[in-house]
Amino acid sequence: MSRQDVFSRVLQLVCNVFDSYSAVLFLPVPGSPDCRLAASFSLGDDVRQGMVLSPGQGLTGWIVREGKPLVISNFDQKRGVLGYYAGSAESEIRAFLGVPLEGMAGALCLDSKKIHGFGDKDQKILAEFARLVSTLYLERDHLAADALEARLSEAQRQMATLPWKHPKWADFLRELLGLASRATGLGHCFLAVGDEKSGTFFVEGASQPLFAHSAPASFPLGGGMIGWVFKNAAPVHALDGDTTPARLFGAQASAPVFRSVVCQPVGYGRATRAVLVFAGREEAAGEQLKEFAAAVAAQLSLFLENLHLKARLAKRGA
């Protein structure tokens, strides 16, 4: 059972205990002060699934920002908004109760179409549910982080052996990017290789098919996130928002919209020759992924430097 399934079961139980109309759970967005509606249970179909909430935005945002519970037994839309309903569904809500999560940004909230007299007892019971949710979230995150760290460490150990196992560039690149993709759990890992003469870059060595249709032969060197990395020789991390193909490549392409993207420059000879890209449709652990991407890029730079040196020596020998 996934974590979201567990949270949905908890919210269903909350609704049954309080005889409420809806229960919603907001969890932190990694690397951001915002929170995302991560799970919900409702007797209707109007909850805005996946919505992002800023601290202080509406009543739920107030709970997140202040870290305090909020009880409203006779809800009046003129004095505040919930924000997690679409259309006019919120106008039917008459009572609201929300509590902050423990040890993290977030909130657990419920509402009702009846005028309820929510009191201290209800608040304490809901706070216990919030404590349970916080524990589940933090414990599973710690376990996931430990497992990811172990995978990344093992991948780096294996990376060190690839140059002598696969001395040819195409074989080395295929093995390295496949290993990196499996270790991070992100579906796509590829190299964007620059061509200064034509002012373009092209995709090489993708760990799996990247484009739904035939791939463009090249992309503008100065466009999109990849083009920015070429120009500035600095990494770009987009781990908490949707990255469209146009934003990533600087041109339209039949690639997916990615949730997590890391673009890391790969240089040798005092210039950025390529950009290493990790991309996935799921959220990724920020700092671990950034450090791993830098390590993979360093391996690529070292391999390219060695190839360049071998070519120069061969030329002199001729």
Identify the structural domains of the chain with CATH numbers, from first to last: 3-141 (3.30.450.40), 160-317 (3.30.450.40)
Collapse the DSSP code of 182 into the 3-class scheme (helix H, G, I; strand E, B; otherwise coil) and give the result: helix
Estimate the crossing angle of helix 3-18 against helix 120-159, to 10 degrees.
Answer: 180
Residues 223, 225, 230: CA angle, nearest 5 degrees: 75
Chain segment 191-226, per-residue pLDDT in tens: 999 998 899 999 999 998 888 777 677 898 888 999
Average of per-residue pLDDT across 261-281: 91
DSSP lists the bridge partners of residue 277 as 190, 263
Q: Give dist(CA 66, CA 64) in Å, integer.
A: 6
Where are any strands of DSSP class E within the chain? 22-28, 35-42, 52-53, 70-72, 95-100, 107-112, 188-195, 200-204, 219-220, 236-238, 260-268, 271-280
Predicted pLDDT at 210: 87
Predicted pLDDT at 182: 92
Distance of CA 200 to the CA centre of its chain: 28
What is the overall mean pLDDT for the chain? Answer: 88
Predicted pLDDT at 3: 67
Average of per-residue pLDDT across 251-277: 90
Tokens encoding 125 = 């019971």
pLDDT band at 128 (very low <50, low <70, confident <90, very high): very high
| pLDDT above 70 for 142 | no
Q: Give dist(CA 27, CA 108) in Å, integer.
A: 9
Q: What is the pTM of this model?
A: 0.59
pLDDT band at 161 (very low <50, low <70, confident <90, very high): very high
Q: Which helix (H) or strand (E) holds 17?
A: helix 3-18
